[in-house]
Chain A
Amino acid sequence: MRETVKLISMDGFEFVIDREAAMVSQTIRSMLTSPGGFSESKDGVVTFPDISTTILEKICQYFYWSLQYSRGKETEFHIEPELTLELMMAANYLHT
């Protein structure tokens, strides 16, 4: 079991985050855990050609915020308004 996974945005930026954080997204969770020998589950690398770098960064921040929230630390997650539309669509895709 790898401890970290790598998420790659459309521009090629790579975000290395904890496996637990990435599993907040149902889509990523099923990619990483589905049987069938997919490269994602073997290498721990997932590419998102439709998601821009800023959005993917925000999504990773959300993952960590969500983990914090469930551990009891309930803070506010601020979203810049100009990102919101794209963020919503990406979140919809990622089931998060």
Chain B
Amino acid sequence: MTMLRSREISSASGKPRPKRQSSDIIQPSTPARKQEPGAHSLDGSSPPTNTFRRRSPCLESLNGFTDKEVSISVCSKRKSNVGERFLSLRSGKKVAKRCDGIEASGSEIDTRKSDVDLGSEGKKVCVDLVEEETNIVSKELDNSGDNALVRRIVNEEKGKTVMDEVEDSCQVKDVEMKCVEGCEKLSSSVSRRKYTREEKAKGIQVVNLSPPITRVGVEEMEIDNSIDIQNPPEASVTESAVNDALNQNGNGSRNQHFRDFAEKNASRFARFDAEMEEEEELSDEEVEQQVEDWPGPFSTAMKIMKDREENTILHDGIPFSSDIERTSPIIWAPRRSDSFTSPPRAPSLQELSMRVLVKNADAITSLDYVPDALRVKLCQLLCDSRRMDVHFLDLLVRGSPTGICVPDCSWLTEEQFTQCFNNCDTSNLMVLQLDQCGRCMPDYVLPSTLARSPKNLPMLSSLSLSGACRLSDVGLRALVSVAPAITSINLSQCSLLTSSSIDMLSDSLGSVLRELYLNECQSIDLNLILTALKKFEKLEVLSLVDLPSVRGRLLREFVTARGEALKQLILTYSVKLTDSSVKDISENCPNLSVLDLANVCKLTDCSLGYLANGCQALEKLIFCRNSFSDEAVAAFVETSGGSLVELSLNNVKKVGHNTALALAKLSEKLQILDVSWCRDMSDNALGYIVDSCSSLKVLKVFGCTQITDAFVRGHSNPNVKILGLKMDPFLDQLTKNLADS
């Protein structure tokens, strides 16, 4: 059911409702609860291959909001014979588990979508409600053929959909209620609500109220700043009215009261950014029109595949795996002979000696003559096993090092840092990596250590201070002022940095900076740094993971100005982006080799079309939880997937045999492939891929429960490592560049 936040009122029953209900009982409002990501997700949380941590929702509450109590009321109506269950979302919302036969755009719960099921009489309605800046896609798959309508509404802010209805049908009611025919079936034990469909073609958002409305304060709801939820007086009035009304009446007039209540309260949600809304809608419409006009290779490939699909047998429009097996044109026979087993490979001498070194790191007296690459590896191993200490850092810092790379400085204290770097000769230092240095790097230690003299870091070209959560604009300015030659700077998770830091960077490093990583920098607003970003003349790598301010218009401006030089664009979790953004990227970034669009859930097959026609040089492409169809992915691979070295189709659920065929055909260069959670990939398909992609080194199949030994033991590729099955160890595979290990 859709959930609305409204003021808290005391429930009649006075006790918090349990989260899960049996299918006959109507779902009351959910108690808000902080839940760990992926705790109740349908298919499990994303596998460890996702390198970007999600912040827990409790950190995301915006200013001034934590004190407000926003309550969620959830009401779901279900048929008793539908095997529905509720799952609780991380944000405390309830999600009705989808029933068979419903395909919703595949997003999992921890991407803040909820699946809503209004089941009745064989009509199943699946509504995905997404928090604030995300989409509401509702599909009505109607067996009786009445409203087969797929509708997408771009929802910029929370409550948008309601506003949508409002603006479309303002003459009618504030809230549009969807009536599913035959939903008059009210069982006495279940209080159900009768919805009237004001406008049949538009019914998306449903306001549901449960009779004993239990509202619980939600503190961690992510709510955009522009939403003004300051209607406690209004709400309490209406609530008390509703409460009275509810308490008085029985089933019959309940609907009327629900409707009244909804009418009164819907206007509270009617806030949205008018410009943004119109602009996004417009651009989406443009987009949809334009793709149809292209007769390019991508659409041709799509068409061929679709025709092929239509000729095969399908059940109810949805091929089940067993059908795929039957209709799949892939013929792959697992190898028969058991004699082909790769001989056990002895660990390399370098590895063996490193292990001994890590164990006896305190006995090392000098790292002279040890090349940088080995120092880095040693450091990594030490940090992983938590044996890294000041002694080793001293060894690293001694002399005039060219590279100091410590991937985890969480053990380092301020005093130790000051002592180490007080007298460090940094005149030849080219690479400085002090990740997770939040503990040891407040602003005030820098002037006496790294920034102790102007031009203290003359050769520094790569600086990584990810996790420097105590570093503010002042400290960064001090550091950058002594390092004029920085070409790569990583400021991920530096939560105190604001846009003035980026302005400062563009002023001092505008002509040299090539790589900029601003992942999860909460205080940086893309709006304000757009001008600064455009000043970087040579920017090749831009990483903007999980920045809520990343929007289509802003991205468009940036890529139009600087897209020519862009080689890597990381936009994980930029949930506001749509197909039009991908269009902009593909038109303006011809040299793009790395593109990360994981968890950008609004994208559709059109995006693949744009990418196929625009970015021909893609080597690393990361998708995760994008809802692309099998044919589209296959068409993309066929038309421009030839240069792919790493491809992630993690949780791109519909991927199946078409993609397998395409991959096997055209990907000789493919080294890393991630098909985790793609349950339509059969043993045959995977075996075919693995045997055909001769360069394949790593295959990730987390969550692919459909794979059997027929594939695992039957494939003939001696080099490939299969990760994600059963309890095989994989932690040592989580290196930055898997292909190098």
Q: How far is the CA of A60 from the CA of B7 in the complex (A)?
A: 77
Q: Which of B342-400 contact A (CB under 8 A)?
A: 343-346, 348-350, 352-354, 356-357, 360, 363-364, 369-371, 373-374
Q: How far is the CB of A75 from chain B (nearest CB, A)?
A: 10
Q: Is A88 in contact with B353, judged by CB distance below 8 angstroms?
A: yes
Q: How large is the interface on A (under 10, 10 to 19, 20 to 34, 35 or more residues)?
A: 20 to 34
Of B346, B350, B360, which one neighbours A88 at CB under 8 angstroms?
B350
| CA of A94 to CA of B373, assembled, Å | 15
Nearest residue, chain A, Cβ from B367: A85
Whether A81 touches B360, Cβ cut-off 8 Å, given contacts A70-B343, A70-B344, is yes
> Known contacts A70-B346, A96-B348: does B356 contact A79 (CB below 8 Å)?
yes
Interface centre among A70, A77, A92 (most CB of B within 10 A): A92
> Closest CB of chain B to A44's CB: distance in Å?
22
Q: Which residues of B contact A71 (CB under 8 A)?
A: 343
Contact of B370 with A89 in the complex, beta carbons under 8 Å? yes
Residues of B within 8 A of A21 (CB): none
Would you give the 0/1 interface string for A66-96, flagging 1 where the beta carbon is closer than 8 Å to chain B? 1001111010010101001101110110101
Q: How far is the CA of A54 from the CA of B348 in the complex (A)?
A: 19
Q: Contact: A87 with B346, CB < 8 Å?
A: no
Cβ–Cβ contact A96 & B371, under 8 A: no
Name A35-64 residues within 8 Å CB distance of B: 59, 62
Does A65 belong to the interface (CB within 8 Å)?
A: yes
Q: Which one of A74, A84, A96 has the highest number of Cβ atoms from chain B below 10 Å of its Cβ?
A: A84
Q: Which residues of A contact B343 (CB under 8 A)?
A: 70-71
Q: Which residues of B have CB within 8 Å of A92?
A: 350, 371, 373-374
A61 to chain B, nearest CB (A): 10
What is the CA–CA distance of A92 and B363 in the complex, to the nearest angstrom? 21
Does A88 lie within 8 Å of B348, measured CB to CB? no
Q: In the assembly, what is the distance between CA of A46 and CA of B346, in Å?
A: 24
CA distance A62 to B264 in the complex (A): 80
Q: Which of A69, A79, A85 contacts B344 (CB 8 A)?
A: A69
The distance in angstroms between the C-alpha atoms of A87 and B350, with both chains bound, is 8
A84-B357, A85-B357, A89-B374 known; A59-B349 Cβ under 8 A: yes
B345 interface neighbour in A59, A70, A96, Cβ under 8 Å: A70
**Docked pose: A88 CA to B352 CA in angstroms:** 8
| Chain B neighbourhood of A96, CB < 8 A | 348-350
Bound Cα distance from A87 to B360, whole angstroms: 14
Cβ–Cβ < 8 Å partners of B353 in chain A: 79, 84-85, 87-88, 91
| B374 CB contacts on chain A under 8 angstroms | 88-89, 92
Residues of B within 8 A of A94 (CB): 349
| Nearest-CB residue, chain B, relative to A62 | B349
Cβ contact within 8 Å between A84 and B349: no
Instruction: Contact check, A85 vs B346: say whether CB atoms are below 8 A apart.
Output: no
Asked if A79 and B352 sit within 8 Å, CB to CB, the answer is yes
**Contact present for B357 and A88 (CB under 8 Å):** yes
Give the residue name and chain of the B residue nearest to A72 (CB). Answer: B344
Docked pose: A96 CA to B374 CA in angstroms: 14
Which of A72, A81, A89 meets B363, CB within 8 Å?
A81
Residue of A nearest to B353 (CB): A88
B344–A74 touching, CB < 8 Å: yes
- B369:A89 contact, CB within 8 angstroms: yes
- B348–chain A nearest beta-carbon distance, Å: 6
Nearest chain A CB to B530 CB, angstrom units: 46
Cβ–Cβ contact A81 & B356, under 8 A:
yes
Q: Is the CB of A84 within 8 A of B346?
A: no
A72 to B348, CA, bound (A): 16
**Measured between alpha carbons, how far is A87 from B665 in the docked complex, in Å?**
44
Q: Is the CB of B350 within 8 A of A85?
A: no
- CB-CB under 8 A from B363, the residues of chain A are 81
CB B442 to nearest CB in A, in angstroms, measures 35
B370 touches A87 (CB 8 A): no
Contact between B349 and A87 (Cβ–Cβ < 8 Å)? yes
Query: Do A84 and B356 touch (CB < 8 A)?
Result: yes
Contact between A91 and B344 (Cβ–Cβ < 8 Å)?
no
> A65–B72 Cα gap in the complex (Å)?
66
Q: How far is it, in angstroms, between the C-alpha of A62 and the C-alpha of B357 when the chains are bound?
A: 17
CB <8 Å contact, B370 and A91? no
Task: State A84–B344 Cα separation when bound (angstroms).
Answer: 24
Cα(A66)–Cα(B347), bound, Å: 8
Q: Which B residue sits closest to A61, measured CB to CB?
A: B349
Bound-state CA distance A79–B373 (Å) is: 22
**Distance between Cα atoms of A92 and B350 in the complex (Å):** 6
Q: State in angstroms the CA–CA spacing of A52 and B493 once bound together.
A: 47
Q: Which residues of B contact A84 (CB under 8 A)?
A: 353, 356-357, 360
Q: Which residues of B contact A81 (CB under 8 A)?
A: 356, 360, 363
- A85/B349 in contact, CB under 8 A: no
Chain B nearest CB, measured from A83 CB (Å): 8
Closest to B348 in A: A96
Give Cα A66 to B352, complex, Å.
Answer: 12
Closest-CB distance, A81 to chain B (whole angstroms): 5
Chain B residue contacts of A88, Cβ below 8 A: 349-350, 353-354, 357, 370, 374
Docked Cα-Cα span, A92 to B378, in Å, equals 13
Which of B352, B353, B363, B364 has the most C-beta atoms of chain A within 10 angstroms of its own C-beta? B353
**What is the distance, in angstroms, from B10's C-beta to the closest C-beta of chain A?**
69
Within 8 Å by CB of B346, from A59, A65, A79, A91, lies A65
Q: What separation, in Å, do the CA atoms of A70 and B349 have in the docked complex?
A: 14
CA distance A92 to B345 in the complex (A): 18
Q: Which of B352, B354, B357, B364 has most chain A Cβ within 10 Å?
A: B352
By CB atoms of chain B within 10 A, which of A65, A74, A81, A96 has the most? Answer: A81
| Chain B minimum-CB-distance residue to A76 | B352
Contact of B371 among A62, A65, A87, A89 (CB under 8 A): A89
Closest to A25 in B: B349
Contacts of A79 in B (CB 8 A): 352-353, 356
Minimal beta-carbon separation of B520 from chain A (angstroms):
35
B370 cross-chain contacts in A, Cβ below 8 A: 85, 88-89
* 29 pairs, CB–CB < 8 Å, chain A vs chain B: A62-B349, A62-B352, A65-B346, A66-B349, A70-B343, A70-B346, A71-B343, A72-B344, A79-B352, A79-B356, A81-B363, A84-B356, A84-B360, A85-B357, A85-B370, A87-B349, A87-B353, A88-B350, A88-B354, A88-B374, A89-B374, A91-B348, A91-B349, A91-B350, A91-B353, A92-B350, A92-B371, A92-B374, A96-B349
**A84-B360, A89-B369 given. 20 additional CB < 8 A pairs?**
A62-B349, A69-B346, A70-B343, A70-B344, A70-B346, A71-B343, A72-B344, A79-B356, A81-B356, A81-B360, A81-B363, A85-B353, A87-B353, A88-B353, A89-B370, A91-B348, A91-B349, A92-B373, A94-B349, A96-B349
9 tightest A-B CB contacts, nearest first: A69-B346, A91-B349, A88-B353, A91-B350, A66-B346, A70-B343, A87-B353, A84-B356, A84-B353
